[in-house]
Amino acid sequence: MIFNLFFYSLLMTDQEIITGIRNNDKPVIQFLVSKYHKQVIKTAFHFVHDMDDAEDLAQDVCIEVLESIGHFKSTSSLSTWIYKVTVNKSLNFVRKNKRKQLAKQFETFFHKADGNTGSTISEPSVTDNSYDDNERKQILDKAINSLPENQKTAFILSKYEELSYREITEIMNLSLPSVESLLQRAKQNLQKKLIAQFSEYSNKK
């Protein structure tokens, strides 16, 4: 089986993969999943920040790709199309869960306001660098998540997924100038947010 997957990876074009999936060729399907599964999880995680949710989304993306392969248009590469499906499903997941997240935040806020903090969490050591690194990562994630949706999507695809501007234009259905503008505004907004949030974090230490 490993040899078969390696053989497919060397010889198959996008069109041959698509044809194989349409014909329900199991080795081709297994090759597609093995090739893109980890990447889909990684992309989804940048949007949802939870590995269980990212893995669930990866399964949804796989099903969507297999069921919708007949509608795939060869104007873009197969990998770009899979990115697009992943981004759309991730954004839909985030939108659906915003209400739940807000409700949870309100619940946590009032829970603390009532003075009921539950179990005590020990304070980390002052010399615990891993704690500082984790705090900084949380600040960065918070700043990225607070960006407008299109800016956030363009930034993640460019900086985390390291996609080209051309690939991003295809995934987001935008012109090249629009993508360039989104990334420029995303960087400017992130700079402002990070300066403010890191200043607040430093003042608490």
Smallest CA-to-CA distance from 166 within 49, 68, 79 is with: 79
Counting residues of the chain whose pLDDT is more than 90, the rounded percentage is 44
Task: Enumerate residues 6+ apart whose C-beta is below 8 A from 202.
Answer: none
Residue 121 has pLDDT above 50, yes or no: no
Q: Please give the full DSSP string across 105-119, using - where no structure is assigned.
A: HHHHHHHHHTT---S
Give CA torsion, residues 125, 127, 128, 130, to 10 deg: 160
Which pLDDT does position 15 carry in this prediction?
86
Entry pTM: 0.73
SS3 string of 70-88? HHCCCCCCHHHHHHHHHHH
Residue 134 has pLDDT above 50, yes or no: yes
Please give the single-letter amino acid code of residue 106: F
pLDDT tier at 136, thresholds 50, 70, 90:
confident
CB atoms within 10 A of CB 18: 19
Q: What is the mean pLDDT of residues 151-169?
A: 94
Q: Identify whether the C-beta of residue 145 lies closer than 8 Å to the C-beta of residue 98.
A: no
Q: Identify whether the C-beta of residue 205 lies closer than 8 Å to the C-beta of residue 155.
A: no
pLDDT (tens digit per residue) in 3-19: 454 455 556 788 888 88
Q: Identify whether the C-beta of residue 203 lies closer than 8 Å to the C-beta of residue 149.
A: no
Residue 184 has pLDDT above 90, yes or no: yes
CA distance 192 to 124: 28
Which pLDDT does position 71 carry in this prediction?
80
pLDDT (tens digit per residue) in 17-29: 888 898 988 888 8
Which pLDDT does position 200 carry in this prediction?
61
pLDDT tier at 117, thresholds 50, 70, 90:
very low
pLDDT (tens digit per residue) in 43-86: 999 999 899 999 999 999 999 999 998 888 777 889 999 999 99
Which pLDDT does position 147 carry in this prediction?
93
